[in-house]
Amino acid sequence: MAEVKPAAKALEDALALLAAGEVVALPTETVYGLAGDATNGEAVARIFEAKGRPRFNPLIAHVSSLAMAEDIAHIDPLSARLAEKFWPGPLTLVLPLRESAGIHPLVTAGLDTIALRMPRGFASGLIERLGRPLAAPSANRSGRVSATTAAAVAEDLGDRIRLVVDGGPTPVGVESTILKVEDGRLRLLRPGGVTAEEIEAAIGVAVERRDNAAIEAPGMMLSHYAPGAAVRLGVSSLQPGEALLAFGPRRAAGWERAVATKNLSGRGDLREAAANLFSFLKDLDRHGAKTIAVEPIPFDGLGEAINDRLKRAAAPRGEHRD
Ligand code: TXA
Ligand code: MG
């Protein structure tokens, strides 16, 4: 079983494992990541193995400085402005990969682009000490809900990895926003911890959504974040035997009958709701209800990312999972 070690004491252990080509689960501001040296093919292969993740689904490479990012990818002026405004933070940029980058091709699944992000906190210090980028998908088994606590990582992956670095609950709670600049236009490949409104306000360029983003970000298959229970969205009335994932001060009709209830944010705060989303889905799943009923959640701000994850949690369970 993996050792769970507080972040304050785990830096040297994590470094030693990563330098030896092993994988380590660690906190970022969004969700926990399962990290390995992005230049080491064996390390990257271990990430895919531990997660049970299909290999055509590329990983995000995490950097600790702009200089490290520039060594890996060609950064156009608009992407550079985004990096300047939002790094370190929950924003991932898809950029043309440099041939000289030294990134193992398993990381990009053979694409000529790479997804790059500069995280905050423990991960950042670790990458700086290692001096190499870390490939890190969310630290959950493929298809499962992402982990926002060290305990959730240990439960999901503890028998497959050696170290989980415990940095407490992750503050953002949903994964990073993924953007790609194309011909000076901003395309949203995945809504996440930085909202479209924040990006537009900071940069003055419209964020474009496209229906085919699912194909462009190969991991964005519909069935994803799947709890054991079925998920029913936008409920105004509860059916017998359902668990309730609530939002805001007013309850759906029949809420008293819920086998269990968790409120993402009693005061209707989307930031709080995002931080609670994955752990509350897991909590409700533990009650063994056949269905988790979810109250409507507004689509603005972080609501876009929350609704995106819930839609995937509710989708019919397919073969392809992240
Ligand atoms: O917040 C996050 O982004 C977390 C933390 C650990 O950093 N990571 C994360 O990684 O969510 P993962 O692997 O679960 O999701 C990465 C997504 C996938 O949907 C993948 O398809 C997409 O990024 N992606 C990676 N490389 C890409 C590329 N070159 N072009 C388009 N999409 C890419
Ligand atoms: Mg994931």
**Burial of residue 300 (number of CB atoms within 10 Å: 0-12, 13-18, 19+):** exposed
Domain ranges of the chain: 3-209, 230-314
Question: How far, in Å, is the centroid of ligand 1 from the Cα of 320?
Answer: 15
Q: What residues have a C-beta under 5 A from ligand 2, the ion? A: 138, 322
Question: How far, in Å, is the centroid of ligand 2 from the Cα of 183?
Answer: 28
Q: What architecture is the 3-209 domain classified under in CATH? A: Alpha-Beta Complex (3.90)
Spans of the chain, pLDDT less than 70: 211-224, 318-322
Q: How confident is the model at residue 255, as a pLDDT? A: 97
Q: How confident is the model at residue 223, as a pLDDT? A: 59
Q: How confident is the model at residue 282, as a pLDDT? A: 93
**Burial of residue 317 (number of CB atoms within 10 Å: 0-12, 13-18, 19+):** exposed
Residue nearest to atom 29 of ligand 1 (CA): 114
Q: Which ligand is nearest to the CA of 73?
A: 1
Q: How confident is the model at residue 319, as a pLDDT? A: 40
Q: How confident is the model at residue 219, as a pLDDT? A: 56
Q: How confident is the model at residue 320, as a pLDDT? A: 40
Q: Can you tell me which atom of ligand 1 is nearest the CA of 190?
A: 19
Rounded Cα distance between 29 and 93, Å, is 16
Query: Which residues lie closer than 8 Å to 160 by C-beta, 6 or more apart?
Result: 2, 49, 50
Q: How confident is the model at residue 220, as a pLDDT? A: 57
Question: How far, in Å, is the centroid of ligand 2 from the Cα of 181?
Answer: 22
Structure tokens at 281: 């889905």
Q: What is the pLDDT of residues 5-21, one digit of tens each?
A: 999 999 999 999 999 99
DSSP 176-231: PEEEEEETTEEEEEE--SS-HHHHHHHH--PEEE-TTHHHHSTT--SS-S--SSEE
- Classify domain 230-314 at the CATH topology level: Rossmann fold (3.40.50)
| Whole-number Cα distances in Å, 76 to 56, 70, 113, 175, 233 | 26, 10, 13, 24, 39
